[in-house]
A and B are shown apart, each in its own frame.
Chain A
Amino acid sequence: QQQVRQSPQSLTVWEGETAILNCSYEDSTFDYFPWYWQFPRESPALLIAIRPVSNKKEDGRFTIFFNKREKKLSLHITDSQPGDSATYFCAASASSGSWQLIFGSGTQLTVMP
């Protein structure tokens, strides 16, 4: 049973467009949602994270929109650049005692110049 789901599996946009990556979850106790990105042959690295006290988190061109009622969140990348091409992982965890980060299966983003 996948607790964190991502869509689409792959996404191609042109440079300058907005890329939208989707994530949904099942466990209502999740209260921390980091997004990691991973470039080929590199480590996954934290890009941006949100906690449910807010429904939006912005960091430059990257914005997380969070809908607690629907258990959905999305990562918007505005003015996409070829350097943004990577695999993006949505993850979730709960502060109720588990140490696990539950990862989605990732969205492979390609930004065409």
Chain B
Amino acid sequence: GPKVLQIPSHQIIDMGQMVTLNCDPVSNHLYFYWYKQILGQQMEFLVNFYNGKVMEKSKLFKDQFSVERPDGSYFTLKIQPTALEDSAVYFCASSLEGLNTEVFFGKGTRLTVV
């Protein structure tokens, strides 16, 4: 089936540094998402992106977070600067349509901030 690819699978970064998580969504999808999962807890919505704009963001999407998809390439999540509490697995997802449709997830990037 359709695949969402996330690169890298694991990243370790020093607190205060910048990190960019990359996502290659399903090729014809139009809606893009990031979710965050802390170990042992549920996945939580961070942000939704469509037509070059953030449509909705949650309270977890701090000012240090930003997303973009320049020229239809990777959909990225940038954290600058990182904090210890940003350590989590970040899942990228995409969907062809918007509300209440099938969302395809990547395998996640495990971010460890030390």
Name A residues whose Cβ lies closer than 8 Å to a Cβ of B: 2, 4, 31-32, 34, 36, 41-46, 49, 51, 89, 93, 95, 97-106
Contact = CB atoms under 8 A, between A and B. Distances in A.
A34 B105 CA distance: 13
Contacts of A105: 40-42
Given A32-B100, A89-B43, A95-B100, A43 B48 contact: no
Given A46-B102, A95-B99, A99-B98, A104 B56 contact: no
Contacts of A102: 45
Contact of A99 (B99, B102, B107, B108): B99
B55 interface: yes
B47 to A, nearest CB: 9
A5 to B, nearest CB: 10
B51 interface: no
6 contacts: A31-B100, A45-B104, A51-B100, A95-B100, A99-B99, A105-B42
Contacts of B88: none
